[in-house]
A and B are shown apart, each in its own frame.
Chain A
Amino acid sequence: MALRNSLRDVLLRPTVAVLAVGLLVTATGYAPGPALAALWRGSFGSPYVIVSTTLVRATPLILTGLAVAIAFRASVWNIGAEGQLLAGATATAALGVATGSSLGLGALPLALLLGTLAGAAWAGIAAWLRRRFGVLEVISTIMLNFLALEIVGWLVRGPLQEPTHIYPQTSMLSNAFDMPRLAGSRLHAGFILALIAALIAGWVLRQTAPGFRLRATGANPFAAASAGQIDVARTATRAFLVSGALAGLAGAIEVTGVTHALYEDISPGYGYTAIAVALLAGLEPYAVIASGILFGALEAGAAAMQRDAGVPSVVVSVVEATLILVFLIPKARERTA
């Protein structure tokens, strides 16, 4: 039954997505034919495009999607994956600028570790504010997103700016910080790390005691505390930190695998799209892989659609919203029933 449902979803969701794009494009007065053709060319049109565009874009979406899924499962409303990703990217770039090529083989692992910790620390602020002062995390994480963006803006024009002081970015990091790549493509090992993270998260959530505590806390905190003897506050805080860590890792991977430098618009809103990715996956870590790739394809295809057919790529946001709402209705019915 579960398998049949997930098979149905795997076919249904891309179909609804493509239908939504076609309808929207037509409704706003563009020709749907060329637009959809460009969407296909830019996402799944050739092996090179799949590997070098769709999967590269899917990588941060899978990791931040996992971050959101884990938090939401614990009823921690972490809207701050964007800020946590920026924190991870910033820490990684700062390490790179500070150490140059002196770290050798240790550079990449250290950069990923530092980025992960930075993401957890940035989420930790919101977790602390929630636990100590009762500040709603929906509000604090959004404030922290804006704050992170301004701090990055300052760093790349100040302490971390490249030596000529012309461009608002850091200098390119040394090769020691480069993610290994698939020969002849732009796909980097970060994609594999994202898959591994999803598999581990899925296993922990389903098969382990901490995973059970997290799910119980999210499903019904009062029952979890009284019947299950679970420290609900601590479980929520841990979920929050793990969530931030995953988003931070996404930032570290983006810097070491794609941009090799830090600048302000390093993320086109991955941390926000992540919410759609996680929701569409039903907050299931394994399913986040599929929905991350679907959104990676949509965004890659939308870029091609704007380039080749003149259709604004922001159309994707409407498609994301439609997908969330369409797949929300059955769930909502369950709740009222």
Chain B
Amino acid sequence: MNVLPDFLAATVRTATPLALAALGETVGESAGVINVGLEGIIIAGAFAGLVGSIAVGVYAGFVASALAGVTVAALFALFAVVLRADQIITGTAVTLFGLGLTGTLYRRAFGATGAALRAATQHANAVPGLSRIPLIGPALFAQPAITYLVYIIVPVLWWALYRTRMGLALRAVGENPEAARAAGIDPRRVQLGAVLFGGIMGGLAGGTLVLAQVGTFAEGMSAGRGFIAIAVVALGRWHPVGAAVGALLFGAASALQFLFQAMGWPAPYQLFLGLPYLLTLVALAALGRSHPAPAALGK
């Protein structure tokens, strides 16, 4: 029976785009900016990934994803950071904008039934040696290259956030912008940088869906991942390692349906689809007020 390895591989596959988006959002929220527009960023990244991949190739697709993500993030930052409009309201508009524009452009460019459209995709690339580790080896190290990028970004972000002056400044802005300003930091510039970084990561998350997983675009294919990534950031207690663990937990909860189906346990399919959301709520309640959100988040 290959149930367990399949379950683990599905967990990592689901977790990859969530981790990318959540890592970027962790940086933004650490600087005090919650970006509900992440959903719009991801769908823009997915659409640009398709266009880039069809026009040039897979890697151009990922570059296009990141560019689209950072462009949409810049729209969010213009209102929420530069003009100081409400973050939740701006984010809502940006999500509507992203979903609407990609849907319109997609139908215009490819017609309503573009499902046959195939983009070049990134195949699984087994890491020699590591992928031979029993059980977890194939799940963790026989994945598309974008998954390995996550493994690199997690420790780098941890180091950048907790071991550099830049990271200290960023977290200071998230806790108390006035104090940070008094210490000679420009909170706007820090938040702008953090939001744009979140845009790159969110764009790559969208690119991953098209270029490493589905191989094509569908309207609204982000399917709430931007919102889930925001929940993952809270699950991860605003820490990069936590975000990666949170993404894996959500991925595992989503993959349970494969496990249960394979075991032949009779349970309604939709209830499994709902399980990750339920578990997220329970986990957030269980974590309670330990390691609370950055004090200036959303302000």
Contacts and interface: CB of A to CB of B under 8 A. Distances in A.
Given A140-B281, A276-B92, A28 B85 contact: no
B85 A321 contact: no
A135 B281 contact: yes
Contacts of B293: 136
B3 to A, nearest CB: 23
Interface in B207-247: 219, 224, 227, 230-231, 234
Contacts of A140: 281, 284
B29 to A, nearest CB: 10
A317 B100 CA distance: 5
A210 to B, nearest CB: 24
A110 to B, nearest CB: 28
A275 interface: yes
Size category, B interface = 35 or more
A325 B79 contact: yes
Contacts of A328: 79, 83, 85-86, 89-90, 93
A329 interface: yes
A147 B274 contact: yes
B105 interface: yes
Contacts of A154: 268-271, 274
A213 to B, nearest CB: 22
Given A276-B92, A276-B96, A317-B97, A332 B288 contact: no
Interface in A304-337: 312, 314-322, 324-325, 328-329, 331-333, 335-336
A144 B277 contact: yes
B15 interface: no
Contacts of B20: none
A336 B97 contact: no
A139 interface: yes
A315 B104 contact: yes
A335 B88 contact: no
Contacts of B84: 332, 335-336
Interface string B57-98: 000000000000000000000010001111011101110110
Given A146-B224, A312-B112, A321-B94, 16 more contacts: A24-B104, A79-B36, A79-B92, A129-B284, A135-B234, A139-B284, A150-B271, A151-B270, A154-B274, A275-B92, A279-B92, A314-B107, A324-B93, A332-B83, A332-B85, A336-B84
Interface of A: 24, 28-30, 77, 79, 125, 129, 132-136, 138-140, 142-144, 146-147, 150-151, 153-154, 157-158, 272, 275-276, 279, 312, 314-322, 324-325, 328-329, 331-333, 335-336
Interface of B: 34, 36, 79, 83-86, 88-90, 92-94, 96-97, 99-101, 103-105, 107-108, 112, 219, 224, 227, 230-231, 234, 268-271, 273-274, 277-278, 280-281, 284-285, 287-289, 292-293
8 contacts: A138-B230, A143-B281, A151-B274, A157-B268, A312-B103, A318-B100, A321-B96, A325-B90
